[in-house]
Amino acid sequence: MPADPDSEPGKKENFWVQAARYSQLAVVFPAALVVGWLLGAALDRWLHTTWLYLAGILLGIAAGFIELIRTAMRDTK
């Protein structure tokens, strides 16, 4: 399903729309990493552990890659 219901299937998107979509990844990747790290650090404090921040970082990285794959798949259709 196209992102814009009014767009035609074979029509290319505007350059600026594509640039904005890919520049969004420059914010999503670090944001996902930081959110995962903060959640892991909060769980470490709450549960008195020392390793959950690493799990949070890995989950944040995975979330960033999932968003990258979703964006790439959306543009290849």
Residue 46 lies in a domain: yes
Look up the domain containing 61 and give its range.
33-77
Residue 58 lies in a domain: yes
Residue 42 lies in a domain: yes
Residue 22 lies in a domain: no
Cβ pair 28, 67 in contact under 8 A: yes
Residue 10 lies in a domain: no
Share of the chain above pLDDT 70, in %: 83
Using the 8-state DSSP alphabet, how is residue 51 labeled?
S
In this model, does residue 10 exceed pLDDT 80?
no
Cα–Cα distance measured from residue 74 to residue 8, given in angstroms and rounded to the nearest whole number: 15
Residue 74 lies in a domain: yes
Per-residue pLDDT averaged across 41-70, rounded?
95
pTM for the model: 0.73
Please measure the distance between the N-terminal and C-terminal CA atoms of the chain and give it in whole angstroms. 9
In this model, does residue 52 exceed pLDDT 80?
yes
Per-residue pLDDT averaged across 3-22, rounded?
70
Per-residue pLDDT averaged across 34-52, rounded?
96
Total domains present in the chain: 1
